[in-house]
A and B are shown apart, each in its own frame.
Chain A
Amino acid sequence: MSTTVDDMSRRIGAMSSAELAGGRESRVTVGDVTCANPRMVCRDVDVFYGSTQAIKGVSLDIGKNEVVSMIGPSGCGKSTFLRCLNRMNDTIDGCRVTGSIKLDGQDIYDKGLDPVPLRAQVGMVFQKPNPFPKSIYENVAYGPRIHGLTNSKAELDEVIEGSLQKAGLWNEVKDRLDKPGTGLSGGQQQRLCIARTIAVSPEVILMDEPCSALDPIATAIIEELIDELRANYSIAIVTHSMQQAARVSQRTAYFHLGDLIEVGETNQIFTNPKHRLTEDYITGRFG
């Protein structure tokens, strides 16, 4: 990681202002934000909603074939940061992102870059399952159709079967592909949304609390699925459940009030946190 003088002074400025504001300890990220085989590289990302700053100078890498979990108390900016990674924040009025976020070396906030194909490369699964009010088949076919990924019905059928299989839903729905996706159970709906995301063959999948609306059994199925998906995709997951972060991720990032406090191997974060705020959070002292 190359650090310019300019960069340094900005960090020092941010640090001292945080301390002036009453923070007793450093808000500079503890731990190594980089990883060996990065797919997405984020450096000094600031996000503003109007005049309020939601994210303050966050740097983080998301590596190939790894699951990065982001934890932290509500309102800490972890979802906001996640939504920067596929420019979903563009749809929010008055949201401004600065800093650099690169996908395979390409700056995704580059003026010339169209966010539409980007979102096909960086898919997203939401907190509440949101299948379209269409049939199961049409839900999965939606992405391939709009991107023109397939040339024939047979090819499309193949993509749909493959996606549903990868999402672990094929056996449950193969006999009722023409039934509405909204008629499935919550866990099945969420897997349908994952299948829908996979169908456009993304490189990175972002998951925003994908299990918070599900029961423990459905949650366990999705977590297993996330572990399997790691073989093909990079995954960034925001979660409120520390057990879930510990179970599914290789690296964990702890956010606090818009700052990225600590990043590290999931094991290390949960057994030996370096920063006091991280320790307070994972031991349940707040949040």
Chain B
Amino acid sequence: MQTSTLLIIVLGLMSLAYYVGRKRAIVSAGGAGRISTLHSLPTYYGLYAALWAGIPAILLMALWTAFQDEILVTLVKAELPGSMLEGLTPGAVGLLVNDIKNLASGAIVSRVATPEMQAAADRFSLFSQIAVWAMWLGVLAFAVGGMAFAWARTKPQMRARNRVESIFMVILVVFSSIAILTTLGIVLSVLFESLRFFQEISPLDFFFGTLWSPQTALRADQVGATGAFGAVPLFTGTLMVSTIAMLVAVPIGLMSAIYLSEYAPRRVRSWAKPTLEVLAGVPTVVYGFFAALTVAPFIRELGMSMGLDVASESALAAGLVMGVMIIPFVSSLSEDVINAVPQAMRDGSYALGATQSETIRRVIIPAALPGIVGGVLLAVSRAIGETMIVVMAAGLAANLTANPLDSVTTVTVQIVTLLTGDQEFDSAKTMAAFALGLTLFAVTLVLNVIALQIVRKYREQYE
């Protein structure tokens, strides 16, 4: 009696309804030759019947599965002798209910089962069985009922197409709101946790403090765990790694975009462009170990040979590799805007006796500049949010330094370290991650909005 079986049966009923509805429409029109008397094509009557058979039944099924457990638990709890629940915290009640459920399903139980619990478990499994049967009956009744309703309403003058299309529109709206609501949910959850964090730690200390040491004391007498939450070293670290990355990615990306769009013969472009875009497909964790195992030691060796003191995990290594990762973003976005500069601009410049490089420098790049800036800003927000490479290659020490050869840490790295392993969700240490996440989100959101504005403004210029 699986729910998935029921779902398959409902889908089967939907296809039956489609067939029946279509047939009914053709018959009501007076045969296949008189389809033109129908308001809509027979297919729409079929779809109409199928939707009526499917949607109410599936909605019922979804609601039922969502609430069945809660209702059953309430019922079982109400039947438990009052002495069992007396003096228990909500958490302990939850444990008890879990044990009853486990007992019913035959899983491992965390305590010795008393006769009362056994009785409750029996009741629970009985109720579950009844509930499943009831759901099957209800859902099938809805499906068949919906089909019958559609059957009764199928008349030649019924506007089946309009109805089906408005139902599809509603479905599209529902699905797109799922995406939007998810984003909203993420923002709100991060926001509320951050607010809880800021109740403990003043925002002033967080945004302007220069010491980051998020170890909070577990015991009152613990030493060496001060819990300082000054995020400035993280911001500067993020800024430094991102700056190094952009210093690598912007020139290389832009120049390769110019070469590919203006100079490269078609044959070269046909393999060079996909090759460049392969870079975008390399998983960041692969970049991460490339940075940590190849680039960082190389920079260290190089620095030592020049008598410099280089940390084994340096901002430079992480930034360089991150820059390589971002090259395809910059190059493909820039190439798109460069290609979008109308041929007429090039012709106009050539016709005045400009060389190709003069045309690129004086006409094409200035014309494409807003789009290039937009692309670069998108790449910056990508660099700020990048995690894996810096986790593996930038280090964990929150140094407030301007030396790229030092090890630095970034906002994303700290979020990862704060939230991996066991955490207590009522300590400032854990909630600091949410405050960092919110800051990161705000910054990248602003960058993206600016970038999109610039790109949009640029598009209008030639349309």
Q: Give me the interface of A with B, judged by CB distance under 8 Å.
A: 86, 88, 91, 93, 116-121, 123-126, 128, 130-134, 142-143, 146-147, 182, 193, 196-197, 200
Contact = CB atoms under 8 A, between A and B. Distances in A.
A119 B351 contact: yes
B461 A130 contact: no
Interface of B: 266, 342, 344-355, 358, 362-363, 366-367, 461
Nearest to B348: A130
A120 B353 contact: yes
B191 to A, nearest CB: 42
Contacts of A133: 345, 366-367, 461
B347 A126 contact: yes
Of the listed residues A86, A117, A146, the one surrounded by the most CB atoms of chain B closer than 10 A to its CB is A146
Contacts of A126: 344, 347-348, 351
B338 to A, nearest CB: 14
A93 B263 CA distance: 12
A143 B353 contact: yes
Nearest to B265: A93
Nearest to B367: A133
Contacts of A123: 351-352
Contacts of A193: 348
A contact face: mostly helix, strand, loop, or mixed? helix
A197 B342 contact: no
B362 A146 contact: yes
Of the listed residues B344, B352, B366, B461, the one surrounded by the most CB atoms of chain A closer than 10 A to its CB is B352
B350 A91 contact: yes
Nearest to A86: B351
A193 B351 CA distance: 11
A200 B355 CA distance: 14
A86 B353 CA distance: 9
A132 B349 contact: yes
7 contacts: A91-B347, A119-B351, A121-B353, A130-B342, A130-B345, A133-B461, A196-B352
Contacts of A88: 347, 350-351
Contacts of A120: 352-353
Nearest to A143: B352
Lowest 3 CB-CB distances: which A-B pairs, in order?
A120-B353, A130-B344, A124-B351
B352 A142 contact: yes
B264 to A, nearest CB: 12
A119 B352 CA distance: 6
Contacts of B266: 93
A197 B351 contact: yes
Given A118-B353, A120-B352, A142-B362, A132 B345 contact: yes
Contacts of A131: 348
Contacts of A125: 351
B266 to A, nearest CB: 7
Contact of B353 (A91, A116, A132, A182): A116
Contacts of B363: 132, 142
Nearest to B370: A133
A146 B347 contact: no
A128 B342 CA distance: 11
B342 to A, nearest CB: 7
A142 B350 CA distance: 11
B367 A132 contact: yes
Nearest to B369: A133
Nearest to B353: A120
A182 B463 CA distance: 12
B20 to A, nearest CB: 57
Contacts of B349: 132, 142
A131 B348 CA distance: 8
Contacts of B350: 88, 91, 119
A88 B347 CA distance: 8
Given A120-B353, A132-B367, A193-B348, 13 more contacts: A91-B347, A93-B266, A119-B350, A119-B353, A123-B351, A126-B348, A130-B347, A142-B349, A142-B354, A146-B362, A147-B353, A197-B351, A197-B352
A93 B362 CA distance: 23
B330 to A, nearest CB: 22
A121 B353 CA distance: 8
Given A93-B266, A133-B367, A146-B362, A200 B352 contact: yes
Contacts of B362: 142, 146
Nearest to A133: B367
Contacts of B347: 88, 91, 124, 126, 130
A143 B358 CA distance: 11
A133 B354 CA distance: 16
B410 to A, nearest CB: 38
B72 to A, nearest CB: 68
Contacts of A121: 353
A10 B352 CA distance: 36
B358 to A, nearest CB: 5
Contacts of A146: 352-355, 358, 362
Nearest to B351: A124
Given A128-B344, A133-B367, A134-B366, A182 B461 contact: yes
A38 B412 CA distance: 73
Contacts of A86: 351
